Amino acid sequence: MLSLFTSLLRQALRQVLAKKGEILAGAVIFAGVIFLVQIPFEQIMDRRTREILISPHGDMEDFQSLTEKLAEGDAAAFDELLVVMENFTNSVASLESQEFVRAQSKLINRALLPYRLILAGLGIILAVLSSTYALLLFSGKERDIVKALRRSIRLFPEMVTLGVG
């Protein structure tokens, strides 16, 4: 029993070593796609979070313009920024801190839900495509990287059906 297992492990290792170039190319391609998709979504979600945290306590544009003026060396902007920050602190202090955090968390989660759902959907699509790519490589059906990627895309509907069924 153990010899069968070790034999299968050796065979799998030989296949991986024989296809290391194709595996590396697929990893680079799929990681690149994930990177190119995720970064803009992260930036959008970060901006929305900041808008939600600042909006109940002042206008986001006013806050940004004050920080820009401050960076330019405007001394009056510093005083205005202190007033805005003091107003924010007073409004937070007037609420119970747990209640404030809970309310802000709900607002943030509601605002970010569509972005998270889109990212999750794209993640599932990429997982199916990358799995299909790997299956094509290891089954020996495709040797060419580009053809394997194209065939992975063509086989996507069937692979999703297999996963659901």
Task: Give residue-wise pLDDT tens across range 57-68.
Answer: 555 566 677 777
End-to-end CA distance of the chain: 32
Q: What is the pTM of this model?
A: 0.66
Give the model's pLDDT for residue 165.
37
Query: What's the rounded Cα separation, in Å, for the pair 62 and 122?
Result: 35
- Which residues does the chain have with pLDDT short of 70? 55-63, 88, 90-97, 164-165
Residue 156 and residue 132 in contact, taking contact as beta carbons nearer than 8 Å: yes
Quick count: other Cβ atoms within 10 Å of Cβ 154? 10
Contacts of 34 (CB under 8 A, 6+ apart): 123, 126
Rg (CA), the chain: 26
Burial (CB count within 10 angstroms: exposed 0-12, middle 13-18, buried 19+), residue 63: buried
Query: What's the rounded Cα separation, in Å, for the pair 49 and 131?
Result: 34
